[in-house]
Amino acid sequence: MSARRTGLFGHRIVWFNVPVVKVVSLSASHRDLDLDLLVQFARAAGGLDQAVVAGRAARAAVVLATCNRLEVYLEVMPNLAAQAVESVISVLAREGDINAAAVRAALVRRDGPQAVEHLFAVASGLESMVVGEREIVGQVSRALDAAREAKTTGPLLERVFQDAIRVSREVERHTSLGSHGQSVLSVGLDLAAAHVEPWDQVSALLVGSGKYAGAAVAALRRRGCTNVKVYSPSGRAEKFAAPRGLDAVAPGDLVKQLRDADIVVACSGRGDVVLDLEMASMARKGGDTSAPRPLVIVDVALTRDIDRAVGDLAGVTFFDLAKIKAHAPDIGIEPIRRARQVISAGVERWFEWRERRAAHHRVASRVQAGDTRLTGVSNGTRDPREAAA
């Protein structure tokens, strides 16, 4: 197929149409949904990118799942966008055992410029539970890495995610958002500070051994807490603890270490409860003292590591994502306004690149079509398709 228009000097220019691919995003976040539904989405998101790409409606897919959002970015042909979206809904409904209508109602769809701008805002921390937090950009980067490993990324999503990471750094550099140094974890620890001894006297038990656990260790140490023990539900405690100079906790010692802890920071997010009411009750009743020591729990895993009922035990103060969200600091309007300006400029640059790329493909298509015509003439055929045959 080709489109014809008249040039400046009256001659006809033939632009051969090339496939126009666009970005579509589907989002579910703490802003719109109950955290319990987000938990269901998070549990259903494993392998979502591969399942959607296998259905062939989407050329590529990247899934970003954090403690307060699920984002699905698709690279699709416009005529297949609706089918790709339905594929995402179908997988989430099936794997999460959720009614498809409820999934459809929960997801916010954005196309083209809106999808790109949204990703840039997400990567810059503007859509986070704690606005301006910097952990999200690492999560965006890891989502892209995961898609590469799963072989579900494509040229358009590669570029838009790389640009999102670049724009997030520009936002940090040109606004005061990064100077606040806040995150979901830091707010949780700030809330805990009112209920524990000075940090250099605190005994901490860390549940988890992933990237977020590393951030938790750093946050505790910045506050002066150096007595940190780590328990890993996945069995990676020794590997995680050794290079950081921490003590690893064996499964059989968990109750004892819980009894001796002043604070528990839970961030494994494996989807199963690590510390249930029975285990916590055993720890609270044991020991030589008549009354157990006060215990503060900060659970920042979306798929909770700790049973909420543990917070009802005497002497236990419990901070989960819902409580942290309620205490998220207000950073003011001006830093956000400036960040939006930086993001808008980034979106404009992205679409300039997109137009250059499309123009390059149009020229390449035209050259290829010309070569095919010449081949047809040299073979004495009238139609390039006859020459190809």
Is 67 noted as a catalytic residue in this protein?
Answer: yes
Residue located via tokens 């951030």: 215
According to DSSP, the residues that pair with 316 across neighbouring strands are 295
Alpha-helix runs per DSSP H in 97-236 = 100-106, 113-123, 135-150, 155-174, 184-193, 211-222
Of the residues 67, 160, 187, 324, only one is catalytic, namely 67
- Whether residue 191 contacts residue 326, with contact meaning beta carbons closer than 8 Å, is answered with no
Are 72 and 89 contacting, i.e. CB atoms less than 8 angstroms apart? no
Q: Looking at residue 253, what DSSP letter applies?
A: G
Q: Kindly write down the DSSP assignment for every residue of 63-129, as one continuous string.
A: EEEETTEEEEEEEE-GGGHHHHHHHHHHHHHHHHT--HHHHHHHPEEEETHHHHHHHHHHHTTTTSS
Cα separation, 382 vs 231, in Å, equals 74
Residues identified as active-site: 67
